[in-house]
């Protein structure tokens, strides 16, 4: 059991320091949980921290699922078997650069519902989530022999609001349902954030990545006694589309960690292993004052985070630098005692970690094998998206465009079609309330694109005597996951105008793209496509055995990439990442299928590479730490 007194943490009554690493089960293929947790344990941490995203577990049917990839109990028991305690952060809000901060998109379709406050409609939804998730947590609690030593009440609430009644409702909901472990809050190391997010009588923790004495002094002002904890000590940073890949110097990171641990504080390294925003789960940030303002920044598919354990399990220079620092303050794991690891010499017998025989850095076997590079030159089939709409979706009629959420759609694309009367001279087409990027067509001819970050932009359109069919295909990127602009509905939220006239009477097709089995593929040579004409391209390749790979699309524009029916994520020529991670469990011996949905500029081939390329790098601004 984990507790604390005026001086610090106690584990089963003995003084204890938490040295934790964040690793999110939902960003790692479940067949790789054991591998990544072993690497985490080898780093020297004694605890693993993970969120539980509500929207990942709640299915489109409304059922809540805790099986397969969503089996958080299996993840926690695996950690326990490897000697790790577990910290759980079950929401309802998690941030985590995850779509809508883990909240279900359907909440945005409820008229009048206000997120993350004591609004009765929102609290009723939260209670339903707690009714589902807490029974999964209870058997994992340390009081019942499980690994879970602490549970978070809310996440960085002081960065959003200051509703103490809301925080009490969450706390009471956890306790009333049987959660009897240490409860805590997490907020930025600023007075306003600590004021808004802490709850008297419960452990307060802070988030930061440098200048530890200064940040911990802020925390101490709001928590006069008890353990000091950096619940998110940022040792890297996430990437957004169109910006460089963030990195943080390993030596500087290690020095900042040393400074923190020298104060006697506990720590959770965020992220120890970042993983991947598979599918369409990546969130977004927004620097504007209003959701319709410019400043929208979608997060990349890779969540490598420049972590010590790389996206594909690599043990990096930062791994060794941080491990050396951790070893100054807590006992490093006795590697031969880890289950199923080879009988390696004691670390104390060696002068350098790299001298451990047979394994990079000495901690673990080499990462799983990688596929030999190859090029997939010839598509085995092609299908134009606009021609395949009838196979992909059933239309609904509405007088005005409506956002995805009101049509029961959470992620993907959405298509709007109407008639523009004619004849008309060239007039500007304008979309009000666009989220996030629109591809426009007149009678099937590409007109161009509009983007939410240029809300005043227009495209010219003239029509002949018979008018024209206007098609608008909207890409929904990640929902805002942090700050005040979380009411981030996708699609078209207000309307479309031609000149000064609103266009009405719309056919709308939600395109979640969860099943591509009905696509009418034809021979690629018989389906020519031009840039701006969205199309699916199917490629095939044969393997003797599965292995890790990195898929690259040089010469392509932007779109989505599937492997054997599993959506790896988004890609874009604007970067930063130039490859998408395709872990071994997604491949199979024999025939494999790769499908590319290209929305802008059609390339010629898909490349399988044996090394990741996350793009040109830049040091993350010091203000982000």
Active site residues: 156, 232
Q: Cα separation of 100 and 33, whole Å? A: 25
| Cα 401 → chain centroid | 28
| H/E stretch holding 528 | none
Q: Cα separation of 76 and 74, whole Å? A: 5
**Which pair of structure tokens corresponds to residue 202?**
């419960």
Q: Do residues 409 and 512 make contact, with C-beta atoms less than 8 angstroms apart?
A: yes
Q: How many CB atoms lie within 10 A of CB 370?
A: 17
What is the sign of the dihedral through the CA atoms of 205, 210, 213 and 218?
negative
| Phi, psi torsion values for 193, nearest 5 degrees | -70, -40
Give CA torsion, residues 220, 222, 227, 232, to 10 deg: -90
**Which pair of structure tokens corresponds to residue 101?**
């901060």
**Which pair of structure tokens corresponds to residue 60?**
């489109």
Task: Specify the 3-state DSSP secondary structure of 186.
Answer: strand
Q: Cα separation of 45 and 37, whole Å? A: 10
Give CA torsion, residues 6, 9, 15, 21, to 10 deg: -150
Across the strands, what pairs with 370? 548
284 CB-contact burial (10 Å; exposed 0-12 / middle 13-18 / buried 19+): buried
Across the strands, what pairs with 302? 276
| Phi, psi torsion values for 213, nearest 5 degrees | -55, -40
Start-to-end CA distance of the chain, whole Å, equals 32
| H/E stretch holding 168 | helix 164-176
List, as one string, the DSSP characters of 558-587: EEEEEETTEEEEEEETT-S--EEEE-GGG-
Q: Cα separation of 397 and 202, whole Å? A: 51
Q: Cα separation of 282 and 568, whole Å? A: 11
Q: Cα separation of 576 and 617, whole Å? A: 8
Q: Do residues 254 and 322 make contact, with C-beta atoms less than 8 angstroms apart?
A: yes
Count CA within 13 A, CB hemisphere, residue 526: 6
| Phi, psi torsion values for 59, nearest 5 degrees | -80, 165
Task: Specify the 3-state DSSP secondary structure of 189.
Answer: coil
Question: Beta strands 549-552 and 606-609: pairing type?
Answer: antiparallel
Helices (H), 242-347: 250-262, 317-326
The closest of 566, 569, 565, 570 to 518, measured between CA atoms, is 565
């Amino acid at each position: 059991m984990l507790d604390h007194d005026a001086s610090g943490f106690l584990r089963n009554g003995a003084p204890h320091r938490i040295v934790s690493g964040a690793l999110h089960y939902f960003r790692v293929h479940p067949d790789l949980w054991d591998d990544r947790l072993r690497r985490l344990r080898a780093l020297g941490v004694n605890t693993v921290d993970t969120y539980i995203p509500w929207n990942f577990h709640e299915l489109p049917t409304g059922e809540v699922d805790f099986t397969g990839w969503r089996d958080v109990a299996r993840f926690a028991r695996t950690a326990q078997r490897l000697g790790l305690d577990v910290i759980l952060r079950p929401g309802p809000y998690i941030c985590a650069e995850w779509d809508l901060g883990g909240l279900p998109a359907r909440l945005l379709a409820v008229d009048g519902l206000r997120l993350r406050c004591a609004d009765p409609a929102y609290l009723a939804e939260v209670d339903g989530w707690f009714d589902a998730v807490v029974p999964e947590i209870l058997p994992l609690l340390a009081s019942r022999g499980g690994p879970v030593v602490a549970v978070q009440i809310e996440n960085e609430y002081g960065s959003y609001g200051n509703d103490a009644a809301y925080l009490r409702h969450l706390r009471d909901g956890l306790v009333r349902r049987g959660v009897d472990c240490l409860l805590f809050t997490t907020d930025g190391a600023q007075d306003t954030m600590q004021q808004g997010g802490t709850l008297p009588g419960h452990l307060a923790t802070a988030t930061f990545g440098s200048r530890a004495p200064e940040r911990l002094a802020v925390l101490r002002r709001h928590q006069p006694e008890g353990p000091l904890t950096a619940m998110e000590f940022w040792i890297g940073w996430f990437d957004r589309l169109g910006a460089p890949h963030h990195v943080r110097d390993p030596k500087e990171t290690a020095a900042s960690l040393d400074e923190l641990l020298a104060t006697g504080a506990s720590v959770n390294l965020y992220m120890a292993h970042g993983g991947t925003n598979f599918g369409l789960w990546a969130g977004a940030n927004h620097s504007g004052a209003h959701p319709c303002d410019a400043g929208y920044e979608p997060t990349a598919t890779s969540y490598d985070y420049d972590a010590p354990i790389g996206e594909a399990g690599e043990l990096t220079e930062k791994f060794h630098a941080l491990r050396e620092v951790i070893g100054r303050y807590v006992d490093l794991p006795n590697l031969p005692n880890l289950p199923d690891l080879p009988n390696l010499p004691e670390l104390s017998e060696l002068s350098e970690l790299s001298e451990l025989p047979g394994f990079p850095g000495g901690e673990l076997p080499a990462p799983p094998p990688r596929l030999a590079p190859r090029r997939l030159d010839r598509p085995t089939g092609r299908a134009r998206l606009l021609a395949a709409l009838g196979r992909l979706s059933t239309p609904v009629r509405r007088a005005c465009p409506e956002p995805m959420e009101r049509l029961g759609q959470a992620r993907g694309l959405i298509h709007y079609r109407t008639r523009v009367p004619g004849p008309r001279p060239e007039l500007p087409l304008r979309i009000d309330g666009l989220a996030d990027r629109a591809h426009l067509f007149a009678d099937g001819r590409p007109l161009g694109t509009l983007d939410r970050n240029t809300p005043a932009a227009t495209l010219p359109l003239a029509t002949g005597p018979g008018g024209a069919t206007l098609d608008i295909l909207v890409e929904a990127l990640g929902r805002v996951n942090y700050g005040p602009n979380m009411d981030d509905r996708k699609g078209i939220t207000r309307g479309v105008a031609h000149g000064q006239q609103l266009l009405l009477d719309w056919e709308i097709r939600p395109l979640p793209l969860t099943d591509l089995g009905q696509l009418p593929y034809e021979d690629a040579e018989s389906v020519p496509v031009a840039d701006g004409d969205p199309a699916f391209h199917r490629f095939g390749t044969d393997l003797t055995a599965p292995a890790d790979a990195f898929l690259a699309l040089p010469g392509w524009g932007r779109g989505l990439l599937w492997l054997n029916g599993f959506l790896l994520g988004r890609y874009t020529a604007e970067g930063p990442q130039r490859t998408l991670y395709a872990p071994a469990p997604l491949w199979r011996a024999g025939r494999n299928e790769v499908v590319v949905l290209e929305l802008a500029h059609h390339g010629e081939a898909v490349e399988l590479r044996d090394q990741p390329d996350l793009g040109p790098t830049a040091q993350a601004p010091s203000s982000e730490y």
